[in-house]
Amino acid sequence: MDMEEKPKYGQPKEFDPDFKGPIQNRGCTDIICCIFFIVAIVGYVAVGILAWTHGDPRKVIYPTDSLGQYCGQGKLEKQPLLFYFNMMKCASPMVLLEFQCPTPQVCVEKCPDRTLTLVTAIGNTQDWEYYKSYCRADPGTKPVVDILQKKLCPAYLISSKPFLQRCFPSLGKKGDVITVGDQETFNDGDKMRDAKDLVAGMKNATIVMEGRQVAMKIFEDYTKSWYWILICLLVAVVLSLIFIVLLRYLAGIMVWVMIFMVIAVVACGIAHCSIKYVNLKDTPGSNITLQQLGFQPDFSLYLHIRQSWLAFIIILAILEVIIIILLIFLRKRIRIAVQLMKEASRAVGYVMSSLFYPIFTFLLLTIVIVYWGVTAVFLSTSSEPVYKVFNETDCPHARQTCDPENFTLSTMKRDCPRSECLFAFYGGETPYHKYLIILQFYNIFLFFWCANFVTALGQMTLAGAFASYYWAPNKPSDMPAYPLCASLGRSLRYHTGSLAFGSLILAIVQIIRVLLEYIDHKLKGAENKFAKFLLCCLKCCFWCLEKFIKFMNRNAYIMVAIYGKNFCRSARDAFFLLMRNVIRVVVLDKVTDFILFLGKLLIVGLVGIFAFFFFSGHTDAFKGATPSLHYYWVPILTVLVGSYLIAHGFFSVYAMCVDTLFLCFLEDLERNDGSPKRAYLMSENLLNVLRKKNQAN
């Protein structure tokens, strides 16, 4: 490798005898963008206040009757369940379009536990008192014909059970015959029907709630396993801290230990999957394909299929081969990267508080995510109830908007005497409701901008702290007393505009990617192959553009932290500096990133293996402590994601330290030549790596 490559992009820095690293006499950068960011934040707060004023999350939590009232709330507090007058009306295709059955619905205290018809109940005083609790209004002494025509009461009651706060018929089976209340037929007040006629209505009525059922089971699993999840995440924190400390003193050994342990963990995964694959050979039903099985909410079913374990074996084997090939070709480069990591370990040792800075970033990101989520929910629930005309026979006003208070006197009622004005969905025609989609778009865009800003703030803060370490002639006496706090103060006081500028560019690209995904979702059924190909190319291009912008922003923030220049000039200087040292970028920077990634992979693998054997109950040692779960993959996935985020948080400090020191010693190489007047400020180890040395006086 030619470490003395010639500059190809721009010119190296000229010698500046007054340059001493991160300058203190800074000025504010990118002021215009800072002002725009502040105005956008003020607007974001205004949108939140507007959403909280109009929104009502109860619309997505509680069922709603035909008058738009919430079951279990307010005056209906003692009536938490929703009862459908005629469940078979839910078989209408309109249910899937409007998410509302075209039949009257009332809130009730409990679901009916017997099967009755209006005709039989009205002739029995005790049954009639029970029956009236499921009517929309007190029918008084009206005849049966008037009650049914005005739809004051249901034509029949069927023995039901509560499910997702709704009453559904208690269907069962006798052999292959579907029954309701142990009967194969029921009387709907008009004629005898088979119990199977209720199936289609129940299916359509529940199709929009199946996701909620899964969500409730997942939530229940979290309530049973949250403390074990926290223990697993605590283990991940401890492992990350142990690796950081060991890297501080045993960087060279730990790098190779990490590499071989990752290879061993993947190999163990291959062996375990192979054993499972072989053991399922003679198991009935294990040879069906994933395509035949289809999507199942119970993911444990996939683990009883041989094809699933074969897929795991192939994926892990490919990963193992890729890691081994990379290690073979990069073995010499890894030795160089080890020295850079040792230097980074010393820098982290002088700025130990940097290891806990990701917690601050995580808290800020949590605030941003929670604000976005709450605002999105309130915006989506800030619409008004919309009522439509429902009629069992042909009606010219069917599905038209109506007013339930004046409906009995309207021309719609006169034209269609048997029609009803029922609650359909939530919407609105006011200017506020018309611009809800714009407010949601603004909410998403500001979420990306603020999240990127928080990430950028963390990168610039760490870069400033580690740069102050590098450029200090006498370490640590020439470093600030609190380098991390000093760097955070400089970043917020002088460079908020630069942070907002860089995060704005990234947010624009990300929102374009979201729009492309939305368009792709809408065009899934399209037959235009060219449009699909073009959209796929655009998605790929913007994905690459996002990765490139993240890389450039990261290095631009480092240059801003060092010199205090504006974002565009810092990005240009960082780009040309990297291009002039492109070989070193690949050799030192990217190899180090790969090593840190292996460290994260190892921590996630170790914690994930422990979580799998604990929550799955496959090990006898944990059977007594393992909680009973609907889906044991829920805590396992949570632990895997949480462990990766924790490991990423700790190792991102190292990665930022390496990147900062990398740019600093490239600047050092261009500004200095090792002479007594222009001595290198890098450590002796880095001088040896780069085959440089300082001349004696």
Please state the three-class secondary structure of 553-570 as a single string: HHHHHHHHHHHCCCHHHH
**H-helix or E-strand spanning residue 402:** strand 401-402
Percent of the chain with pLDDT over 70: 74
Closest CA to 430 of 498, 372, 384: 384
φ, ψ of residue 278 in degrees (nearest 5): -70, -40
Number of H-type helices and E-type strands within the chain? 23, 13
| 26/433: higher pLDDT | 26
C-alpha span between 414 and 238 (Å, rounded): 74
Closest CA to 561 of 651, 475, 469, 482: 469
648-689 residue pLDDT tens: 878 888 888 888 888 887 887 777 777 777 777 777 766 776
366-419 residue pLDDT tens: 899 889 988 887 887 766 667 777 766 677 777 777 777 677 777 777 778 777
Beta strands 81-84 and 105-108: pairing type?
Answer: antiparallel
Respond yes or no on whether the N-terminal peptide bond of residue 22 is cis (omega within 30° of 0): no
| Residue 70, helix vs strand vs coil | strand
Closest CA to 457 of 482, 497, 494, 491: 491
Residue in the structure block whose two tokens are 């929910």: 377
pLDDT at 682: 73
pLDDT at 448: 93
Give the number of other Cβ atoms within 10 Å of residue 70's Cβ. 19
pLDDT at 5: 42
pLDDT at 93: 47
pLDDT at 189: 46
- Outline where DSSP puts E strands in 170-267: 171-174, 177-180, 185-187, 192-194
Residue in the structure block whose two tokens are 């073009």: 534
Residue in the structure block whose two tokens are 């992979």: 601
146-194 residue pLDDT tens: 777 777 888 878 778 787 778 877 665 555 555 555 455 554 445 565 5
Contact indicator for 416, 391 with CB cutoff of 8 Å = yes
C-alpha span between 357 and 597 (Å, rounded): 19
Strand order in the sheet with 160-163: 105-108, 81-84, 166-169, 160-163
Q: Token digits for 68?
A: 């738009």
Closest CA to 195 of 216, 208, 210, 178: 178
pTM score, two decimals? 0.67
| 461/387: higher pLDDT | 461
Q: Residue 426: CA atoms inside 13 Å, Cβ hemisphere, count? A: 22
Closest CA to 186 of 105, 103, 120: 120
C-alpha span between 337 and 654 (Å, rounded): 13
Cβ-defined contacts of 511-515 (< 8 Å, 24+): 511/444, 511/445, 511/448, 512/542, 513/539, 513/542, 513/543, 513/546, 514/444
Does the pLDDT at position 203 exceed 70? Answer: no
Average pLDDT over all residues of the chain? 76
| Residue 160, helix vs strand vs coil | strand
Q: Specify the amino acid at residue 53.
A: T
Q: Token digits for 46?
A: 């205004």
φ, ψ of residue 687 in degrees (nearest 5): -60, -40
φ, ψ of residue 224 in degrees (nearest 5): -85, -25
Q: Token digits for 589?
A: 């920077």
Highest mean pLDDT among 1-5, 256-260, 586-590: 256-260
Contact indicator for 86, 189 with CB cutoff of 8 Å = no
Does the pLDDT at position 585 exceed 60? Answer: yes
Contact indicator for 286, 306 with CB cutoff of 8 Å = yes
Q: Token digits for 684?
A: 């002796």
Cβ contacts of 117 within 8 Å, gap of 6 or more = 155, 156, 157, 187, 188, 189
What is the rounded average pLDDT of the residues 686-694?
A: 70
pLDDT at 54: 77
What is the rounded average pLDDT of the residues 317-342?
A: 78
The lowest-confidence range among 171-185, 212-226, 267-281 is: 171-185
609-633 residue pLDDT tens: 888 877 776 666 666 666 666 667 7
